Structure 1
Amino acid sequence: MNIIEEIFGEGKDLNVLQMSCRSVVVFFIAFLLLRISGRRSFGLRTPLDNIITITLGAVLSRAIVGASPFLPIVAASLVIALLHRAFAWLLMRSDAFASFAEGDKILLYSNGKFNRHHMKRALVREEDVMRGVRRAALTDDLNKIDSIYMEKNGEISVVKKEG
């Protein structure tokens, strides 16, 4: 047990080598936890998916710097990953739960007009929407655009007119 303590240290007084060794172990633990939580953790970037990114980062960082006991941190991280997986499963199975947890897309522009009420709800300005149009449709000509949405993950998506 003494050699493990020498390699990984104990408490907050860790040297560079001990923190580096902890970083390697935490990296592989994080990798396993993300495999458990599923691919959507970093793929869809919805608010739910951002939660796992932020919380796992915050919790696992405590293991690297020795701010909390190592095994309880790993257990808490596993619980976070399993909760994320359970929520993702519920989102897949229930449209009502998905609407509650992630919200719905918001129509920002259609029929040649911006929907100011929806833009207020989405907390975006016309320039924010146009930035999304330029990025998604590679144009700033609204005559070529049928509709613009703010998706559940906050991204702006554009539907071009036919022809």
Structure 2
Amino acid sequence: MQTLIALFGEGKDLSALQMGMRAGATFFAALVLIRISGRRSFGQRSPFDYVVAILLGATLSRAIVGASPAAPTFIASLVIVLMHRALAWACVRSRALELVVGGVERQLYRDGNFNERQMLAALVSRADVLETVRKELGTDALDRVQSAILERNGEISIIRKAHALD
């Protein structure tokens, strides 16, 4: 036990070596927690998934700097990850819960018309849609666009008109 205290320190009065050891241990603990959480947490990046990333960062940083004891910090982090995993599992099985937690797609533009109501609800401007069209099609000519959809992850998807694929 004394060896662990010498390596990792106690409380807030830590040496550079002890903080380095804590950072290394926290890195591996975070890696394990992220693997438990699954790809969803850091792949698709919905607001639901960002919660885990933010909370893990905030919680685990306390273990590195000695602001909180390491073991309770890791347990709290595990609880966050397991709650995320359980909620994700429940969302897969319940469309209603998925809509509450993950949100819905919004049709911003279709067949020459902007949907002002959906754009206002999503706080997306015409300029945002045109920017995405320019990035994806290399032009801001909407005559090549069938629809623009704000995805649940915040990205705008552009669906080209069938004749615009040529």
The 3-state SS of whatever aligns with 2:108 is: strand
% identical equivalent positions = 50
SS at match of 1:147: strand
What are the residue-to-residue correspondences of 1:10-159 with 2, within 5 Å? 10-159=10-159
TM-score by length of 1: 0.96
Secondary structure of 1:159's aligned partner: strand
CA contact (8 A) 2:111 2:145 kept: no
Aligned equivalents of 2:138, 2:97: Cα separation in 1: 35
Q: Secondary structure at the match of 1:12?
A: coil
Report the RMSD for the aligned CA atoms in angstroms.
1.0
> For each residue in 1:58-110, what CA deviation from the matched residue of structure 2 results, as whole angstroms up to 9, or x when unmatched?
00000000001111100000001101111111111111111111111011001
1:135 Cα deviation from its structure 2 partner: 2.6
Post-superposition CA distance 1:111-149 (Å, at most 9, x none): 201111111100111111222222334432111000001
Letter in 2 for 1:46: S
Amino acid of the residue matched to residue 102 of structure 1? Answer: G
User: Structure 2 length normalisation: TM-score?
Assistant: 0.94
Residue 162 of structure 2 aligns with an amino acid whose one-letter code is E
Distance 2:101 2:136 in 1: 26
1 CA distance for matches of 2:85 and 2:116? 36
1:161 corresponds in structure 2 to 161
Matched residues in 1 for 2:139 and 2:85: separation? 38
Gaps of 5+ in 2: none
Aligned length: 163
Stretches of structure 1 lacking an aligned partner (at least 5 in a row):
none
